[in-house]
Chain A
Amino acid sequence: MQSRSIALENEHDIAVARGEVRNVSAAIGFRLIDQTRLATVASELARNVVKYAGRGRMILQPTEAPYGRVGIRLIFEDRGPGIPDIAAAMRDGFTTGRGLGKGLPGSKRLVDEFQIESTVGVGTRITVTRWL
């Protein structure tokens, strides 16, 4: 399956992104609970892009490890303000906005791998992977 890129520019795109992630994860063979986890992560991280950076994109990558393990990788990229203190942003309850501060730490718990790179003034890239 090919990877694809979905533009994240408004609230509607958030819904589109999580719908795509659910469809692709179902097609790969993830069971319902994992489809739900992945759609929820996509919703959380896509909303962060729209809310904090205004725009960005999600890259959806069906992926295969060298030893044949199948999974799905989601990359959320933006050229927004960046996260000054990543450690703080990863703590439960930390929020700079109206949110509950569950987005990043909560999303991390829903996937197998979670990687965050961010530079103030340059942008943020979050990569998450869940294996089948």
Chain B
Amino acid sequence: MDGQTRIPILKVGRVLIVPIQVDMDDQTVMHLQERILTELERTGARGVLIDISLLEMVDSFIGRVLSDIAAMARIMDARTVVVGMQPAVAITLVELGLELRGVDTVLNVDEGIRLLRSEFGMDDEDEDGDRELGALAEQINRP
């Protein structure tokens, strides 16, 4: 995978959804960080949901970038949730000594959306986006 790989960033309601489907090289990871922040600024989203369920490995570099994204997003008034970490990845992370500081992790996309919703609440004008988000979550969760 070269640095040109584009990870999609979808905006649904007030949440940016980032499904990482491939092994990323360092450059792709750095690009992704920049693009998430740019999208946060452009769209005014309040949450970032990063789905790593297909990621087979998180090393100290990717771990640090996830922490950085969460910290930077927080400064931009947005909350970051990482969802779907594989058990083998979680075990390896802990053995490696990584904490993913400042990053909330939950088991799946549904839980992630629930957490983000509870964080900033959903008012009337967001009902459409909210419904859309539910539909998208179903789609992502479907095998």
Contacts and interface: CB of A to CB of B under 8 A. Distances in A.
Interface of A: 11-12, 14-15, 18-19, 22, 32-33, 35-37, 39-40, 43-44, 47, 92, 99-100, 102-103, 105-107, 109-110
Contact of A102 (B26, B60, B87): B60
Contacts of A35: 88
A99 B60 contact: yes
Interface footprint category on B: 20 to 34
B25 A11 contact: yes
B25 A36 contact: no
Contacts, number: 77
Q: What is the predominant secondary structure among interface residues of chain A facing chain B?
A: helix
A33 to B, nearest CB: 4
Contacts of B61: 43, 47, 99
B43 interface: no
B89 A109 contact: no
Contacts of A18: 23, 57, 59
A18 B64 CA distance: 18
B95 A110 contact: yes
Given A12-B2, A36-B88, A103 B95 contact: no
10 contacts: A12-B25, A33-B91, A37-B95, A47-B26, A47-B59, A99-B64, A100-B63, A102-B96, A106-B95, A106-B96
Contacts of A22: 56-57
Given A102-B60, A106-B97, A11 B92 contact: no
A33 B56 contact: no
Contacts of B97: 92, 102, 105-106, 109
A100 B23 contact: no
B52 to A, nearest CB: 13
Nearest to B91: A33
B10 interface: no
A12 B25 CA distance: 6
A20 B1 CA distance: 13
A90 to B, nearest CB: 12
Nearest to A95: B60
